[in-house]
Structure 1
């Protein structure tokens, strides 16, 4: 089984949450959201290092909080970029292993099983995704066209990629001044190669807006009752 680096994107500044602290520091069941992710990652033996991309002003605080929990996997905190894409690029440049998993600090309900499913997938490039359960139209201020939802996927993290090939794609995107919202679209743009889509989880939400905090609390209570 291959060894992995994990890049944990923890660069949010809480703008959409209307907060004066990054959303990854919000408490869920008494712990910062990103700590829930690190606790699960720390139990995955194939993940040999964790690279956390942080806002510059919160780099020391991130390191301080992490130290409190005594993780065994080596964790390196680095300054993230001004965009998500730049943060991934910086994380990949620090990755020591042939394969890299990318996850977001504000997706605390990822499970150990999801990481293992990703690792065990034979294709070295794989993502999680969900079906689109609602109608999607093309347009901004007016309808310009129909999109077929059975041909679309709601992209979730974590993802995994060959480190060198994804890093090269990021370098190409920087040269071309192209910006992508996540890595599967960036990777496919340059390689047009096969990326496996694994079945995602409706519980694996991204906590971005105030309503997401309420949903997260409900999910946490439910998962505790289910013994997960």
Structure 2
């Protein structure tokens, strides 16, 4: 899946380098797979962490440029236009989001509250941040021993600053469960026919 993402990024002139955090025992294999393709951008494989948050932090420490795009390889249907839309967003911090088309309640074994779905979004990646700021937020989270499931919440927690929400895509799914693979195969077939991806 990460090759699909790299293929989308490789022709975007604004992106100057690619950093891939991965498990230590897969770094060499990842580099081998990458070498089979003729990517033009410098690609660096770095040791990942025990959590998503730690892996992002380790990747950010290697970043060389003023701004950073954070993405995840389990979203292979992202488009080059999506990256460009983020890059050229007016705010230095921008994410993708979709309206939530279902009811969301607060609680586990019992209902404890009602959330207003018109005030909620389904957060998608990629995200764009100022590199120094998002790295600082990650360092603060490490010091405070706080854990976040994605970077917008982490960034907002420490800066409480404006993060633009750009319209995401229903095709930009996250492939984590067996049912997601079935949906992904359908999307892949459709996008090949349409030539959009």
The TM-score with structure 1 as length reference comes to: 0.85
2:150 maps to what in 1? 182
Alpha-carbon deviation of 1:107?
0.6
Q: How many residues align?
A: 196
Q: 1:47-89: per-residue Cα shift (whole Å, max 9, x none)?
A: 0000001111211110000000020000000110000000110
1:148 maps to what in 2? 116
1:200 maps to what in 2? 168
1:77 and 2:45 correspond: yes
The TM-score with structure 2 as length reference comes to: 0.98
d(CA) in 2 for partners of 1:52, 1:218: 27
d(CA) in 1 for partners of 2:31, 2:178: 26
d(CA) in 1 for partners of 2:47, 2:72: 15
Q: 1:158-179: per-residue Cα shift (whole Å, max 9, x none)?
A: 0000000010011110110000
Among 130, 133, 136, the alignment partner of 2:98 is: 130
d(CA) in 2 for partners of 1:120, 1:49: 17
1:90 and 2:90 correspond: no
1:172 and 2:130 correspond: no
Unpaired segments ≥5 residues, structure 1: 1-32
Alpha-carbon deviation of 1:224?
1.1
Q: Which secondary structure state, in structure 2, belongs to the residue aligned with residue 48 of structure 1?
A: coil
Among 53, 65, 70, the alignment partner of 2:21 is: 53
1:24 maps to what in 2? none
d(CA) in 1 for partners of 2:92, 2:170: 24
1:27 maps to what in 2? none
1:6 maps to what in 2? none
What aligned pairs does 1:97-116 form with structure 2 within 5 A after superposition?
Answer: 97-116=65-84
